[in-house]
Amino acid sequence: MKKTSTRLADGRELLYYDLSDDAARDARDGRPLPPVRTASEIRTDRLLGESVIVASHRQDRTYHPPADACPLCPSRGGRRTEIPADDYDVVVFENRFPSLTGGAGRCEVVCFTSDHDASFADLTEEQAALVLDTLTDRTAELAQHPGVEQVFCFENRGEEIGVTLTHPHGQIYAYPFVTPRTERMLRTTAEHAERTGGRNLFDDVLDEERADGRRIVLAGEHWTAFVPNAARWPYEVHLYPNRRVPDLPALGDAARTEFPQLYLELLRRFDRIFDGRGGGNGAGGGGESDPVESPTPYISGWHQAPLSADNRGDFALHLELFTIRRTSGKLKFLAGSESGMNVFINDVPPEAAAERLREVTSE
């Protein structure tokens, strides 16, 4: 992997991550961009003790541009975009409309491929490995930024999720605080250790799922993908390395090598859940005569240990992948119970979801 750093016309950093060491990245951003003017504020919910980001400037961010005006495509044919080069493997740059500003954290955009019409599932294993290496490098570098407490790498896919740019891309948030979800996981991990004489909660969950087997979707030598016993979303899969590590930089070489194969297969199965090509009528699935739907909308995120947590070593790196589509043509909305009280109601039994995902192999 070759990494090249440059600057956009308004001063934001852009980094190329190339498969070839011979890649030359000398194209300049010739756009007449004004300096980035942003303002975000982190407030605390006094009743819950949770951080909330207020970022009014994001109201003006680019919204559903046509394909020939996509800002994440390479600069070609006289049209200048966020990426000055006429082609690229993976690109990372500072978000022009960041949620975190003013030195309190950092928001980055990760473009997985220059192909506007592709998706992550269309990548080769070599390309997917490069994305993993890129996220690892960014995690390690952002961890060194003053004030950063947690690094979250994620992908939103599909208009139903709220994506405003359809080009295959993800984001990285370097939070200046520990997120509420992670704080709760650390707390329950500590409580479990105290209750069980020092046992690790993440290890026990993985061991129990592997022993039970009903919710396992994919299992390799170094990774296990399963639907959690109390899944919140209709189709939700957690992907764990079989050896616990706190974050992406701590992953071993063997796990890195195996990851692209399992993750690409998992994404391809997600794209087949509702299109009727999996055979049979699984939970939420259709028969062979059902029409092919749009690609499954999903959110995929890497959960990593906070940087300064006392029990950081007890946290287990894992990826959580889920869709808000609950059956063909229907979405799971977060209504009164979920939005008002954070009590999820799942219409698809986790065991049925796992069975469906086992059915819809991509081969």
Give the whole-angstrom CA distance, residue 313 versus residue 309.
Answer: 9
Length of the chain: 363
Indicate the SS3 state at residue 103.
coil
Strands (E), the chain: 2-7, 13-18, 41-45, 50-54, 90-94, 106-111, 150-157, 169-175, 216-219, 223-226, 235-241, 298-303, 318-323, 325-327, 330-331
Q: Which of 145, 167, 169, 222 is catalytic?
A: 169
Angle, helix 201-212 to helix 180-195, in steps of 10 degrees = 80
Angle (CA) 262-264-269 rounded to 5° is 95
- Count CB-CB contacts under 10 A for residue 237: 28
Look up 116 and say whether it is catalytic.
Answer: no
Give the whole-angstrom CA distance, residue 224 versus residue 232.
Answer: 19
Write the DSSP symbol of residue 307: S
Beta bridge partners of 110: 92, 170
Q: Which residues are catalytic?
A: 169
